[in-house]
């Protein structure tokens, strides 16, 4: 059986999928307005792609109608299956559209418009619609996708198509999410911004339209081509990828649809015959840029006449690229465990490697590392590699400035809170064993070890009475002085010495004022 109607993924669709993956990676690092606008752009492109797929699929259904009317006895089996695919696809598509509107309505109110989301950054809408106890529809969607996937898979014979459809409609959660006890719907929608949740649902719509197209094209191919459309004999180029990293291989399968398998076609590229029984053409890509694969294919028809079809396929060779991000900020801190994430678009995480100069590097999981630079005021350099076809290829180099950890802030433990100056009840003051110090600015949360400090009290004549502690705890004399303070009286904690995980000891500027309340 030929592949005259086999569905291909367009370069546009592959670019949209790549944009979606990149935006999801950016979302994991930082939800900014630019990232959310990026999701809106991807959603628009996905919607357009989905609409185009629906138009292509509708043309196949129209051909089924025509063929069924012309020969119902022969076509009925395939026609009935095609109508079944149409019904269950439209049902799931409409459910996804309904969920998009529900999420945007929860975010924007009654006048919500899925194409014009106002509160793109809303983190609650998707969670409430999909995960609210008793009424959340995430489990319903999960079950609908599983049921749809199993039915579609049962109609596909080609193993490559089965793997692709199964991957697109996969409902398994990553191991790290599973270890946290999350199910599919929680992993997909918990604390997901409205713009991202809508884009995710649009992508699912795009995936089911693609799956629909794969099945109905296969069903149409089951109708004898000779009796239906003998004038649509065409040459096709099926590339492994339309974008190739420099140094990698461009691979394409060149076939003529509906050809007699007992008569292998002859393939010519650049005027030279390709000696290959399976129609596979490969060439090493040594330069970047846009290229075109051109040639023609020849075979014999049923009457023994030679039939020729020209083919042309554009592809792009790109330079190696990678993404490396410091999970905290655009600098690294010396002597501190800086978390690092790395990824390469289109390459599995376990095939991506990372090395470092100017410090020590330890992998914690695929794509995640801890970097400990040593050269304060210098730079740490990272090299990203990817294992491509059995060889390691450099995908990018990145440099980060190395700084000393900033000074911590001193505090007195007061229950679950940290008292950093001002009024403090005498009960809480007397309950405190001593003082602590830490960096806690929303990005870093790093404890320091207090190695000493000084308290300054005032006697009845206003004279300063200093008392030194050689560690983090209050001395007995300091405790007695605190015990003798009446309401409204104050003292100061100063000359605080603290040591961080980088091993550097520093004396903190300023003093903490404590007013007995």
Q: What are the boundaries of each domain within the chain? A: 11-228, 235-318, 323-403, 409-516
**Which of 371, 450, 462 lies closest to 412, judged by CA?**
450
The predicted structure's pLDDT at residue 498: 97
Residue 385 CA neighbour count, 13 Å, CB half: 10
pLDDT band at residue 292 using 50, 70 and 90 as cut-offs: confident
Contact, 196 vs 39, CB < 8 A? yes
How far is the C-alpha of 272 from the C-alpha of 282, rounded, in Å? Answer: 14
Which distant-in-sequence residues (6+ apart) come within 8 Å of 7 by Cβ?
A: 210, 213, 214, 217
The length of the chain, given as a count of residues = 517
Q: Write the pLDDT tens digit of every residue in 213-245.
A: 999 988 888 775 334 333 456 666 666 555 555
Q: Write the pLDDT tens digit of every residue in 46-89.
A: 888 889 989 999 999 999 998 888 878 878 889 999 999 999 99
Look at 444 and 236; give whichever has higher pLDDT: 444
Contact, 249 vs 284, CB < 8 A? yes
The reply to whether domains 235-318 and 323-403 share a CATH topology is yes
Residue 105 CA neighbour count, 13 Å, CB half: 8
How far is the C-alpha of 162 from the C-alpha of 40, rounded, in Å? Answer: 30
What are the tokens at 96?
């996804």
- Least confident among 230-244, 342-356, 423-437: 230-244
Which distant-in-sequence residues (6+ apart) come within 8 Å of 167 by Cβ?
A: none
**Which of 329, 322, 372 lies closest to 349, judged by CA?**
322
Contact, 372 vs 364, CB < 8 A? no
CATH top-level class of 235-318: mainly beta
351: DSSP letter: G
CATH top-level class of 323-403: mainly beta
What does the DSSP assignment read for 344-372?
-TTS-GGGEEEEEESEEEEEEETTEEEEE
Q: What are phi and psi of 465, to 5 degrees?
A: -120, 95
């Amino acid at each position: 059986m030929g592949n005259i109607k086999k569905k291909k993924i367009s370069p546009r669709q592959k670019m949209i999928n790549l944009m979606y993956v990149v935006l999801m990676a950016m979302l994991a690092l930082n939800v900014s307005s630019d990232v959310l606008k990026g999701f809106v752009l991807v959603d628009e492109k996905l919607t357009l792609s989905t609409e185009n797929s629906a138009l292509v699929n509708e043309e196949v259904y129209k051909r089924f109608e025509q063929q069924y009317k012309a020969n119902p006895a022969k076509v009925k089996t395939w026609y009935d299956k095609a109508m079944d695919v149409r019904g269950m696809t439209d049902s799931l598509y409409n459910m996804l559209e309904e969920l998009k509107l529900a999420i945007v309505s929860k975010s924007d109110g009654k006048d919500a418009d899925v194409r014009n989301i106002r509160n793109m950054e809303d983190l609650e809408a998707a969670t409430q619609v999909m995960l609210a106890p008793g009424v959340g529809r995430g489990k319903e969607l999960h079950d609908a996708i599983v049921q749809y996937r199993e039915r579609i898979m049962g109609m596909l014979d080609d193993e490559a198509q089965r793997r692709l459809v199964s991957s697109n409609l996969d409902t398994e959660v990553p191991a790290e999410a599973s270890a946290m006890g999350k199910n599919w719907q929680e992993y997909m929608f918990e604390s997901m911004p409205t713009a991202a949740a809508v884009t995710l649902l649009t992508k699912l719509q795009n995936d089911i339209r693609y799956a629909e197209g794969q099945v109905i094209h296969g069903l149409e191919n089951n109708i004898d081509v000779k009796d239906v459309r003998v004038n649509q004999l065409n040459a096709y180029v099926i590339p492994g990828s339309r974008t190739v990293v420099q140094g990698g291989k461009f691979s394409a399968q060149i076939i003529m649809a509906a050809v007699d398998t007992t008569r292998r076609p002859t393939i010519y590229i650049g005027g030279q015959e390709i000696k290959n029984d399976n129609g596979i053409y490969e060439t090493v890509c040594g330069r970047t840029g846009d290229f075109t694969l051109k040639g023609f294919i020849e075979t014999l028809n049923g009457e023994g006449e030679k039939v020729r079809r020209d083919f042309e396929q554009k592809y792009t060779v790109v330079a190696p690229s990678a993404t490396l991000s410091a999970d905290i900020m655009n600098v690294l801190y010396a002597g501190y465990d800086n978390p690092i994430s790395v990824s390469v678009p289109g390459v599995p995480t376990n095939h991506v490697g990372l090395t470092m100069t100017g410090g020590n590097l330890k992998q914690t999981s695929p794509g995640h590392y801890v970097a400990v630079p040593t050269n304060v005021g210098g730079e740490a350099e990272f090299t990203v590699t990817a294992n491509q076809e059995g060889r390691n290829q450099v995908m990018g180099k990145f440099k980060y400035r190395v700084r000393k950890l900033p000074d911590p802030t001193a505090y007195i433990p007061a229950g679950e809170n940290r008292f950093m100056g001002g009024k403090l009840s005498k009960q809480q003051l007397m309950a405190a064993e001593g003082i602590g110090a830490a960096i806690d600015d929303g990005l870093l949360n790093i404890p320091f070890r207090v190695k000493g400090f000084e308290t300054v009290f005032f006697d009845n004549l206003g004279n300063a009475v200093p008392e030194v502690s050689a560690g983090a705890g209050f001395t007995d004399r300091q405790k007695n002085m605190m015990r003798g303070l009446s309401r409204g009286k104050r003292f100061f904690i100063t000359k605080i010495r603290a040591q961080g995980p980088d091993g550097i000891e520093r004396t903190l500027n300023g003093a903490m004022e404590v007013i007995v309340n």
